[in-house]
């Protein structure tokens, strides 16, 4: 009788404790665990047994609506990255997209109600499978994006137990930027790192030309003489972006110049050719966090998505979101 009751009590304890555990797997590499296959790799069985999770999508009328999390992640992938990307790069993007939604639910997010919108300039791009197909997208791509979401179901990046600020962008031009250089907030997992192999990105390097008149108008300056003499001392950030630049004796922050001149990034240089001001930029976006084309380059080199995430968000933990 005693062993019978003990068996019942053991079953009750296991039933109450085990479901409440949060599965956390560090994505730091060490000699004791050099095999990426030993990290968190959900199987089809574990994914099927996981309880469905939801997120809050901001509707056009401004109210948050509940939506299946993995359907949302698939839609973000369809809106954010090319279907030609390697699966490991897509899986890294899926984890990051899910982390953005979970952080909003945990903190209130940019909209204050725990939701995320469908604007890439604010939260994340979003394209339903139906919209994607209607625009000429391939069914195979939808299946690929769905698989990337499913194979990482529920996984997010955390730091000190909370979903991280999982920022990302298109292309860094060779090196990412410190968060503090762009937003003034120092986050230990958003630090400048090398991001090689991005040369195939559409905006790895760009040039924009301005007449002297247009250039001065955009900066609110009145200067005369040779434009080559307008550009003064320049300081740079850890990520190779312009921190400050003297123009006509006035000091501008690199991020302000990017905004005023409509540049693709703060990693730029200015030259004068035949009286025109030519600005050469490297990369596309704020350059903080994960480079999408850098992730693709790492995937092409054979890196698993955990390695990609560890590279761009050092010190974070790959965790299972319990909602």
Model confidence over 110-138: pLDDT tens digits?
A: 999 999 999 999 999 999 999 999 999 99
d(CA 156, CA 28): 15
- Is the model's pLDDT at 164 over the cut of 80? yes
8 A C-beta contact, residue 253 and residue 270: no
Structural domain boundaries in the chain: 22-166+289-320, 205-282
What is the structure's pLDDT at 30? 35
Q: Which helix (H) or strand (E) holds 252?
A: strand 250-253
> Measuring CA to CA, which residue among 157, 103, 107, 89 is closest to residue 320?
157
Mean confidence (pLDDT) of the chain: 87
H helices of the chain, in order, are 2-17, 44-49, 69-80, 87-107, 129-134, 139-151, 179-183, 212-219, 254-261, 292-300, 305-312
Which helix (H) or strand (E) covers residue 159, if one does? strand 155-159
Please indicate whether residue 284 or residue 202 has the higher confidence score (pLDDT).
Answer: 284
List, for residues 209-254, the tens digit of each pLDDT value.
999 999 999 999 999 999 999 999 999 999 999 999 999 999 999 9
pTM for this prediction: 0.83
DSSP secondary structure, 35-53, as one string: -GGGS----HHHHHHSPP-
Burial 285-298 (b: 16+ CB within 10 A, else e): bbbbbbbbbbbbbb
- On whether the CB atoms of residues 259 and 252 are closer than 8 A, the answer is no
Render pLDDT for 44-88 as a digit per residue (tens, 0 to 9): 333 344 456 999 999 888 889 999 999 999 999 999 999 999 999
Tokens, residue 171: 């292309």
């Amino acid at each position: 009788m005693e062993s019978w009751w003990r068996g019942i009590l053991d079953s009750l304890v296991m039933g109450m404790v085990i479901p409440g555990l949060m599965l956390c797997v560090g994505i730091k590499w060490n000699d004791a665990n050099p095999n990426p296959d030993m990290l968190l790799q959900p199987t089809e069985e574990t994914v099927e047994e996981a309880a469905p999770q939801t997120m809050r999508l901001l509707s056009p009328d401004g109210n948050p609506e509940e939506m299946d999390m993995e359907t949302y992640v698939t839609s973000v992938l369809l809106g954010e990255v090319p279907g030609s990307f390697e699966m490991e790069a897509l899986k890294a993007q899926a984890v990051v997209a899910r982390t953005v939604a979970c952080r909003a639910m945990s903190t209130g997010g940019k909209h204050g109600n725990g939701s995320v919108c469908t604007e890439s300039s604010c939260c994340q791009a979003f394209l339903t499978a139906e919209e994607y197909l209607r625009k000429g997208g391939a069914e195979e791509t939808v299946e690929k994006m769905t698989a990337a979401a499913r194979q990482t179901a529920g996984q997010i990046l955390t730091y000190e137990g909370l979903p991280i600020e999982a920022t990302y962008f298109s292309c860094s031009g060779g090196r990412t930027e410190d968060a503090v250089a762009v937003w003034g907030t120092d986050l230990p997992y958003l630090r400048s790192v090398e991001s090689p192999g991005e040369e195939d990105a559409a905006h790895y390097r760009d040039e924009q030309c301005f007449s002297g008149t247009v250039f001065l108008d955009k900066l609110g300056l009145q200067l005369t003489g040779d434009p080559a003499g307008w550009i003064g001392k320049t300081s740079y950030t850890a990520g190779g972006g312009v921190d400050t630049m003297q123009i006509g004796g006035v000091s501008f922050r690199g991020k302000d110049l990017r905004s005023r001149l409509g540049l693709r990034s703060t990693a730029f240089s200015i030259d004068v050719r035949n009286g025109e001001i030519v600005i050469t930029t490297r990369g596309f976006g704020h350059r903080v966090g994960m480079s999408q084309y850098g992730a693709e380059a790492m995937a092409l080199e054979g890196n698993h998505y955990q390695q990609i995430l560890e590279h761009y968000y050092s010190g974070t933990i790959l965790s299972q979101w319990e909602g």
